[in-house]
Amino acid sequence: MVLVRAGICAVLAVLVVAPLWPADASQDQPAKQDPSQKSDLKHKDEGKVLNSKESQKTLERMIKAGEANKLSPAEVIVETAIIAYGNRNALKTARAAIEEDGTIKLATDQGDISGDYKMRSIRKDKSWADLLRNDLSLKPPAPAQQSGAAPAVKYVIAFNGASVWSAQNGQYVNPRPEVEAAFRAQLTHDYTNLLRYKEDGSKIELVGPENVVGIDTNVIDLTMADGTKTRYWLSAKTYRILHMEYDLKIGDGTPMKFRVSYYPPYKIVQNTLVPGRRVMEQNGKVVQEINVNTCTYSAKIDPEVFQHLQSS
């Protein structure tokens, strides 16, 4: 059976889907990456920090009151980033309930898989407790279809606040341990975790400046209360989060390095900034790309969708 070496990342971090359709074992070799695949993965580090009037006033008050002098260098950078993304209150209010729709492309051993995805979440006090559900509608690659795979696969995986459940083509299935671990990583490894560091009680540390492909960045390490670590690269000019890296043990327990990059076009949703394109690499190979088409924040979501398959 083929392991789809991919995930959902942002506001989706990572979801490993495996196995969904039959494959010839002789073809179970590492996927070859198209050399042109990265050609258009470029950041445009242009313009000023995005601020609503309220955000700008908050920053001015902080500086005037001397609060910035009480912050560590890492906190100054991250607090400015929070303002760049809309400000803490706006983020909390707008992202209390989220629905995102878009397209996804996954790299597999038998070729790329394309399809649609829907992400829904409801914010809780701590990011790792957020309710989360991903719905995927995928078309298997041609070789898999020639081997008898169904023309389309609908896959659902969700966290209901206590446990992870999943379903495939309308039938409940038990998620494999590596699938569950990868899915749960979305709750602890995301660009939004850095913006919620205070609420989560996470520690942040400035690693130092670093130039990444011609863009000056500040590197920040975030450590959650349970020791979970994520490294972030923030633009020194716009304070946008450009990249994120973390290690995750899945499958046989061998650590894998995941890198998620956030690209334009950026969307402004309820005065908050949302990256419209997200690309994931696994051990240096591009395995997933998500393009967000529509975002609905402060969405009306029935909590039951996180509990049952039929509530969609």
Supply φ then ψ for residue 50, to 5 degrees. -75, 120
Residue 12 has a pLDDT of: 29
Note the CATH number of domain 48-306: 2.50.20.10
pLDDT tops 60 at residue 177: yes
Confidence of residue 118 (pLDDT cuts 50, 70, 90): very high
Percentage of the chain with pLDDT > 70? 75
Q: Supply the DSSP string of 31-55, one letter for each residue.
A: PPPPGGGGTT------SPPP--HHH
pTM: 0.81
Residue 220 has a pLDDT of: 98
* Tens of pLDDT, residues 6-36: 333 322 233 333 334 333 322 223 233 333 3
Cα separation values, 105 from 33, 156, 171, 292, 310, Å: 13, 16, 24, 12, 26
Domain boundaries, the chain: 48-306
| Between 110 and 236, the higher pLDDT residue | 236
Residue 174's identity, in one-letter code, is N
